[in-house]
Chain A
Amino acid sequence: MTFLPFRTELSGVPHALCGLNEHDWDALVSDNNFYNSYRWLRALENSFGTTDVLAVHGPAGLVAACTLWEGSQSAGMFFLPDCMGGIPGPWQQTFLWLGGRRNTHNEIPCVQGRRRREALTALGRSALYYAQERRYAGFVMPYMPYQAAVEFAGVIGGAVVLHSAEASLEVPDTGLPGMIAHSSAHNRNQSKSEISAFQRTGGKIEWLPAEELDDSIAADLITQNRSRYGNADDRDWMQRILAGQRKAGVSHFGAVAISKRNNEITGMAVFYRFGTALHLRYFGADYNLDLNDYRYFVLCYYEPLDYAAARGLKTLRLSTSALRAKVNRGAKIEPQAIVVKCIGEQHISRSEIERHNRCTLRHYQDQFPGHLSRDWEFVEAHRDPPD
């Protein structure tokens, strides 16, 4: 069957997030893409200020959109030279960043179906226009699932550079016992021993809706954990983030696993439920208590499996850090890529990208054999066009 084309042109212009309808936006967001959902992005605005939005409207409403920011100017996960893995290019110049601020998972909220490609093309065109107008060297969208990156790069004539990986765990219908049953003998024994140690030291878990969480306690525990791993942001910073989330209504999606010992809180993990996915976002612990009770693993990997299974959730999304620990507890590793589009005469060597992507693929194949998601097969099969 063929359909008549719509007559109205798609057009992309910068908007403010508050001027767009929340439900229209979220209808374009997949379950795995919680950090590009409307309320999460509004929470970022509440904490860090407003940002421009690229929005593409079809004749019947919103068909594609994303928020904009400028990345980080210091070394780390959102510093472009660090994302590009030594590939020569103008990475010290200022690029426009697409996606939520400091998101480690980005997909473009976009309509499904036969006009998806057209909508993505229009969004890419408006990103290019926006970047040219403001004299950026180009635009990037980091931390995209590999296939989403290839799709977007294909419509904008951009490059796909593997730069990260994230962990996810399919939730067995039977929850934790199901995961343990499918683990190797070594990992099974490790999981059982960690759970036993937690219980032996008197640890108990309680679940709480995030709306009932005391933000000051949460900020304190999360900040303790972040400082332990080198982050300089203080407790007030974290409290500002949580307040922004509360104001935006993100807490509505939140569920908090709290570990207690003798009625004292020893740690917590904050999750967000979105569709059939449960997203792990924060871990916090009271490191003044000298406990070797594996509460991190119990809170972040074991307990949420039972929580998710009981609610019919299908996937536990575990983000990009500590991949080894996650793999040993049942997770699969998914490839992530940054899509790069330079403006004007800037040239990126496709062969350099190809070489880099091959190396990255081999690295993950060597490091995590048997734990890679099927998306890596697409990486293996995909060849960028030659220079």
Chain B
Amino acid sequence: MSDNAAQFDEFASLHENMAQWPLRKYIEVPSVLEAIGDVDGLSILDFGCGTGAISRMLKQRGARCVVGYDPAPGMLNYARRRAEKEASDLSFIAHLSASMTAQFDVVLASYVLPYAANKTELDSMCGEMAGLLRPGGRLVSLSTHPSYNPHSNHYEACGFRLVVDDPENPYLEGRRIRIEFCKNGEQGGVFAWHWPAPSLERALGQAGFRSLKWRELGAPAYSHIEQLPKELRAYLQSPHAIIIEGVLARGHAEQNP
């Protein structure tokens, strides 16, 4: 397991509790689900599933098959145990196998690409995601916004801080960001890395993704943004995350078996 995955081992309960944080509940998750669209009958791989909160939602919404993948044992154990108790017909895996190649209609990667520590890891992640999809299958990725607000306290009202290693040049490729969780006191933090839009488009394109679309987050359940709590309205003025969608080119699997 990489250090990047290992840093999540003790965050299972925090990760699960975050599903109830207003930012995740009213903005991130609804935006991701809206981007994925109707899941009825689809086969979905939740890449970097954490404790499986979104995997469970996708299954409840009618996905035929949902597989959660996460290399952090602490996260995966939470997801597995809970699925076992809730008999939710989900499977959670720590390793991707060759038998999973080209088996999925959708790959969801919620906050996965920002944890690539260098270009090689970024390329490798994108390649793995592409390898899982059927030709024409879709990637829905929630990633760091290319123009997130680099002032460390900007997102504090939403429960976290982004502390960049190099505040003078926060948007440079591969700059390290420490994400500090502070919703209920200081709750620890993890490292992520900034990948500007051209870097992500290059890596995704190289992996075989086409028709890349950048989709800003919203609050789909609210018809008027004024109805949102103040901190979420402020967040949407300068969000830290964005959705990237891509379609796996037909013929890609044949070229890259």
Contact = CB atoms under 8 A, between A and B. Distances in A.
A89 B3 CA distance: 44
A27 interface: yes
A27 B12 contact: yes
Contacts of B82: 23, 26
B78 A27 contact: yes
A30 B81 CA distance: 10
Q: A interface, by DSSP: helix, strand, loop or mixed?
A: loop
Contact of A21 (B13, B72, B181, B191): B13
Contacts, number: 91
B196 interface: no
B6 A113 contact: yes
Nearest to A27: B78
A229 interface: no
B11 to A, nearest CB: 5
A168 to B, nearest CB: 20
Contact of B188 (A8, A23, A26): A8
A112 B73 contact: yes
Contacts of B84: 253, 273-275
- CB-CB nearest 6 A-B residue pairs: A61-B13, A113-B9, A27-B78, A60-B14, A26-B81, A24-B13
Given A23-B81, A23-B82, A111-B74, A59 B13 contact: no
B10 interface: yes
Interface in A149-176: none
A113 B71 CA distance: 12
A142 to B, nearest CB: 24
A275 B80 contact: yes
Given A111-B9, A111-B10, A112-B73, A6 B188 contact: yes
A63 interface: yes
Contacts of A63: 10
B85 interface: yes
Contacts of A112: 9, 73-74, 77
Contacts of A26: 77-78, 81-82, 85
Nearest to A276: B80
A253 B80 CA distance: 13
Contacts of B9: 111-115
Interface in B1-50: 3, 6-7, 9-14, 16-17
A61 B73 contact: no
10 contacts: A1-B117, A4-B178, A22-B85, A27-B81, A59-B188, A60-B10, A60-B14, A60-B187, A61-B17, A275-B80
> Which range contains the number of B residues in contact with the other chain?
20 to 34
Interface of A: 1, 3-4, 6-8, 21-24, 26-30, 58-63, 111-115, 119, 249, 252-253, 273-275
Interface in B71-104: 72-74, 77-78, 80-82, 84-85, 87
A57 to B, nearest CB: 9
A1 B10 contact: no
A113 B73 contact: yes
B220 interface: no
A7 B73 contact: no
A28 B187 contact: no
Contacts of A58: 10, 188
A252 B85 contact: yes
A234 B16 CA distance: 44
Contacts of B191: 1, 3
A21 B17 CA distance: 11
Nearest to A23: B82
Given A4-B178, A26-B81, A60-B187, 9 more contacts: A1-B191, A6-B188, A7-B186, A29-B81, A60-B13, A61-B17, A62-B13, A113-B6, A114-B7
Given A3-B3, A27-B12, A27-B13, A60 B188 contact: yes
A30 to B, nearest CB: 8
Contacts of B87: 252
Contacts of A27: 12-13, 51, 74, 77-78, 81
